[in-house]
Structure 1
Amino acid sequence: MTIKYPLPANEFERIINLSEFDLDYTNLQDSFENLARLAAKIAGSEISLVNLIDTYTQWTISSHGITIDQMAREESVCQYTIVETDKFEVSDLTADERFKDKFYVAGDPHLKYYYGIPLRTKAGINIGALCVMDKETKELSPEKTEMLNIIADEVVNRLKAFKAISQIQNTLKEANETKKRIVHDVRGPLAGIIGLTEIIAEQGDSNKIEEVLEFITLINKSSTSILELANEILTTEKKLERAPTLKSDEYNQLVLKEKLLQLYTPQAMNKNIKFEVHTAADTEVIPFSKNKLLQIVGNLISNAIKFTPERGSVIVDLKLKIGTHSNDLIIQVRDSGIGLSQEAIDSVLKGQGNTTKGTEGEKGFGFGLTLVKHLVETLDGILNISSEPGKETIFEIRLPQPQK
């Protein structure tokens, strides 16, 4: 039986929306761990996952009951959830033609039940899914599904908050004294709010006003969290003053290399492909903007792995060309795959998506390279492609960088 994989009608808009969060999938586990655990507890399930889905990959940014970081998009159940408006439920995965042969159903942990909720932005775009799974079938009550919806909304809210905080921190790093003054001004009122809520809480306890106490407790916790964030920013600033390092919006070649190896080595190993990232020794510690880099290079690497046969190679070369007034970050992704025809190259450079299958039948969703072209252009960069069908393909990105 040929499985037809689902594709959201707004797929290109969807992956652009996800790329705008500019996430590093390697460091989000702790931020969502409590939500994943809470989802499993509410559903009474063994496993819960918080997944974000890009063109090629399902990235698990937090999990409970299982250790997993990523999965090919076409292998996931959550790919079906992101085309839904409210939920996607499978009461028996073992009896469903789409899933019965998947490794997590036919083998350990032998999953049977799935319930997923789209992670939807305010604009109505599904960027991933919150899901609960179990080895036994279940029936979730309306109250439980409503609580799972609340958790899914909180996941999106946190992602938005992280993006906003990152933008604020980047801006404030350019004006350290302003940041210190803002944090100092914020700490006083917040401390006052916390003190006031504690007084009201004490009075409410004596008057047994349970509902008032509940809301006051929530306000207290929120205020405390903001105060802790302010203290953290101040602490970080002191560390930076003592030991200057990369800013939060910067990478150097060594840091980018480490990120790429951590994210994409599992995909390469799964296909028995050699994957290497090389840096230029003379410029490898010079900082450059990390804006959208993981999305751009990640899509190129995933595409290269997809179209490279077993025992092939995918090599990434990083270098920084130093200019008089500006620098150029040059990223080259070279694979020993099946290659591209000139017609296909022209299609990519025109920003046209086209769905094709990889060397082992991997499903393509047609927008990975289109997204790369779009993101490179938004950064005033240049994308070049050269290929020899049946031998290799080389993607080269040039991104202008202001000198520090």
Structure 2
Amino acid sequence: MGHLEDSLDQCIKCNVCMTACPVAAVSEDFPGPKVVGPQAQRFRHADQPIPDASVDYCSGCRVCNEVCPTGVRIAEINARARAALVAAQGQPLRNRIIARAGLVGRLSSGPHAPLLNIGLGLRPVRWAMEHVIQIHRDAPLPAASRHTFRHWFHQRGQRHGLRQIVYYHGCSTQYYEPWVGQAAVAVLEHNGFEVIVPDQKCCGLPLLSNGDFVNAKRYHVYNVAQLLPYVRQGIPVVGTSTSCTLTIKEEAPELLDLASQEVADVAAHTYDIFEFLRSLADQGELRTDFRAIRRTLPYHPPCQLRAHRIGVPVLDVLGLIPGLRIVESQAACCGIAGTYGLKREKYPIAMAVGEPLFQFIRTSGSELALCDSETCRWQISHATGIRTKHPIEILAEAYGLYPS
């Protein structure tokens, strides 16, 4: 587990990360990425490996990594320090619950979902949650779906195409936003692909973010085993959650030191869906039979997308739609950071971090905003009252495959 920690020797103490960190800018509880990252890591050793608890206030947004001029893996150093903290001190019940996105989703979705959603909207229930398990009473909890994405996919039957592609839907599409997966499948099939949906578990990012590396490794190994047979046949894997695809491509392998050829092969053939669609467009293989959409929409490229280091493929692909104008947010982060902003002590920080983005959305004059990340979408809608969609829904609409 040394290569990430070794990068701390490249730290030149320039303090660029300290200036850019959105959490340190709004909270005194987090002294900054340099302080808890490379600086503190030098003093952690076998006799005293437990880090200061302030490292748990790092949201993992990776802004520090983006701005570091020497390539120090600050966010990853902090994530491993948090895991050491959890290993030494244990995890609160709240973190064990919210880190298991797949289990929570399975328990939430189904015929009982409408009643559950009503219950979770009641202020006395939210007050009790805040005081019993320390999930903030105003935290943006998603509404569970009556029907899962996989139920819809299997009910409709398999559609054949000239080429095959694997879809990794993730927990949010499976249990909360099945329409995102439906739009993705429609777009891929419209472009001649037969979509395969293999068995899969949560990508493990909520577990990684909450310091549970043991279970995150178990999930990642399982997903690699499910995806590898397709990858070995030359079938690409795409996902609509930038967080999930980043976890498969980079975050889990690096944080967990999973360096097998199998893990590397799956990582190398996994793509964010707009990254993949842009590659089709570059090769002249993307269908462009678009209907005009005469709208101007604000768009936020989330932190996890920027961590892919692939530019902003949504702008490139949606830019092909006649009449559509996308205005890109320059905000650093929405603040939610997956499960970070759900926590009672971190919710005010998350809202303060996201305020520049919320202001951008509010003043856009649009009744709709776009973002690739599910938790960012929920956070934006929670803070602004404005509807949010995944950009794939707009692409499906332009193809005439999806309602406006």
The alignment's TM-score, normalised by the length of structure 1, stands at 0.26
Decide which structure has the larger Cα Rg and report it.
1
Q: Report the structure, 1 or 2, having the larger helix content.
A: 2
More strand by share: 1
Task: Specify which structure has the bigger relative contact order, considering alpha-carbon pairs within 8 angstroms and separated by 6 or more residues.
Answer: 2
